[in-house]
Amino acid sequence: MNRLRAFQHQNQDKTEEALKKLQHVALTGGNIFTELMQTVRICSLGQITKALFDVGGQYRRNM
């Protein structure tokens, strides 16, 4: 948990912009994988998951 907090604190000034860019790519049908490769350098998995959930909702596989 300490490493996560340190990582988030280290990148806090860049996080919001990176997540907004990822959300924009997701909403416009762009290449999410490419943008994810950039975003993971700045944001935690939890932050990325929440950002994508906010624009796309929860993914549920059809059974």
Rounded to two decimals, the pTM is: 0.82
Q: What's the rounded Cα separation, in Å, for the pair 50 and 55?
A: 9
| Residue 48 pLDDT | 95
Is there a domain that residue 63 lies in? no
- The total domain count for the chain is 1
State which residues form the domain around 8.
Answer: 2-56
Residue 32 lies in a domain: yes
- 45-56 vs 12-28: helix crossing angle, rounded to 10: 40
Classify residue 29: in a domain, yes or no.
Answer: yes
Looking from the CA of 60 toward its CB, the CA atoms found within 13 Å total 4
**Residue 62 covered by a domain:** no
Residue 48 lies in a domain: yes
Structure token digits, residue 30: 């762009």
| pLDDT at position 59 | 58
37 domain-assigned: yes
Task: Please report the pLDDT score of residue 57 as a whole number.
Answer: 74
The per-residue pLDDT string of the chain (63 residues; one tens digit each, 9 = 90 and over) reads 999 999 999 999 999 999 999 999 999 988 999 999 999 999 999 999 999 999 987 655 554
* Domain membership flag for residue 61: no
Q: What are phi and psi of 31, to 5 degrees?
A: -80, 100
